[in-house]
Amino acid sequence: MKLPLVGNLFHLISLERFCRVLAALTTAGVPLPDAITVSADSTNNTIFQREMDAVRSTLIRGGRLYEPMVESGLFPIAARQMIQVGEQTGSLGTQLAKAAAYYEREVTFTMKKATDLFEPTVILGVGIIVAFVAIAQVAAMYSIFGQVK
């Protein structure tokens, strides 16, 4: 998750998945500690799973959701604020769904940015291959013309 572009992308994907699954589970009435465990497992990210285990244990001890999520360092300010508002107003599922939609747009934007950076490299590679083939054909034609004389 610390790699420059790919790490940020994986982090955003994990955030989006976590928020989306947690929103669905809390809206369905699943107890929050269980919902956090299932949501963390859905990310397929061991860092998220480890940090959410700490959040879950804080919830079981009677703590709030917001503070341990801030301490985990995995949630950007926007997500923390949405979670805090949802927890305070009793609309956690709605706020998490909004956060998931936001991070889905961020993932799409980051993927587009990554492909835009990769595109010139592909064009350059194809150009080099085409130039190599063209030079090989021209060289073959010159050698054939040289043998005809």
| Domain of residue 79, residue span | 6-119
- Residue 83 included in any domain: yes
Q: Confirm whether 103 is domain-assigned.
A: yes
In this prediction the pTM is 0.76
pLDDT at position 87: 87
Enumerate the H helices of the chain as residue ranges: 6-27, 32-42, 46-60, 66-72, 77-89, 92-148
Q: What is the CATH number of the domain that holds 88?
A: 1.20.81.30
pLDDT tens string 51-109 = 889 889 888 888 888 888 888 888 888 888 888 898 889 888 999 999 999 999 999 99
| CA separation for the pair 70, 55 (Å, rounded) | 10
Residue 133 domain flag: no
Residue 20 lies in a domain: yes
Banded model confidence at residue 5, pLDDT cuts 50, 70, 90: low
On whether residue 108 sits in a domain, the answer given is: yes
Domain-located, residue 137: no
Pick from 46, 64, 42, 43: which is nearest to 55 by CA?
Answer: 64
- The count of domains in the chain is 1
Closest CA to 106 of 24, 34, 10, 21: 10
Q: For residue 19, which of 58, 75, 57 has the smallest C-alpha distance?
A: 75
